[in-house]
Amino acid sequence: MERGASLVGFCDLGFAPVPEQPDLHYAVSIAVRLSDAVLKTISDKPSFTYFHHYRTANAKLDSVAFDISEKIMESGYNAFPVAASQSLGKNQPYNGVLPHKTAAVLSGLGFVGKSGLFLSAKYGSKIRLATVLTDMPLEAQSPVLENACGACTVCRDACPAGAIFGLPPQKDGTRNFDPEKCSKYMKEHFMDTGRGSVCGICIRVCPYNKLR
Ligand code: SF4
Ligand code: SF4
């Protein structure tokens, strides 16, 4: 936390996301908080300010994850920082090495909302996430939290792409939101303000976030 993270949690993923590193099945989940004031500048499209804020949060997360990795390696263990925002290329455009929300949920930091976003118990979805994989044995300090969206469907109703199904996460792992629709809409409508990769409407409208 003293390195600038807003939230930090630990867990044993129970699987190793990097095939070449089968011992790296523990994870440090890191979150940085986004600004309420900046999120309020999002309307029916992202703002230039939010776009910059989003990228700055990612850069900060990558820096914190780098520092944590160095600390872990200094302790004699291996570490693999997973970038805050990442795509594995044309074949897996919507996937990184690991969904950060998987580590965040298993660390007890929050739950996955109907928006498909991770909602931290403390800050809701007004955060960005990164993860460090390691072979340093780590135990979750809090139990996994259940989805707390209740009957709310505000994000589904507000999403201009129709990408949110309005369902809690499915037990069989089926997605409750369509990343392809989301991405297509952003590329078609938000090239000017979000470079086709940032929107934020589902964060802006979520009542769980209690924007001040
Ligand atoms: S980021 Fe925008 S387009 Fe994508 S799911 Fe959220 S509201 Fe819909
Ligand atoms: S807007 Fe409502 S349904 Fe969507 S993530 Fe937030 S609390 Fe859940």
Evaluate: CB of 148 within 6 angstroms of ligand 2: no
Q: How far does the centroid of ligand 2 lie from the alpha carbon of residue 76, in Å?
A: 42
What CA–CA distance (Å, rounded) separates 90 from 83?
Answer: 17
Closest residue to atom 8 of ligand 2, CA basis: 149
Which amino acid does the sequence have at 79?
A
Q: For residue 86, what pLDDT band results from cuts at 50, 70 and 90?
A: confident
Ligand showing the shortest atom-to-Cα distance for residue 149 = 2
Q: Which tens digit of pLDDT belongs to each residue from 106-165?
A: 999 999 999 999 999 999 999 999 999 999 999 998 999 999 999 999 999 999 999 999
Domains in the chain: boundaries? 7-209
CA distances from 102 to 58, 111, 148, 202, 205 (A): 18, 9, 17, 19, 23
Cα 205 to chain centroid, rounded: 17
pTM: 0.94
Closest residue to atom 3 of ligand 1, CA basis: 182
Q: Is the pLDDT higher at 93 or at 55?
A: 55
Q: Which tens digit of pLDDT belongs to each residue from 5-37?
A: 999 999 999 999 999 999 999 999 999 999 999
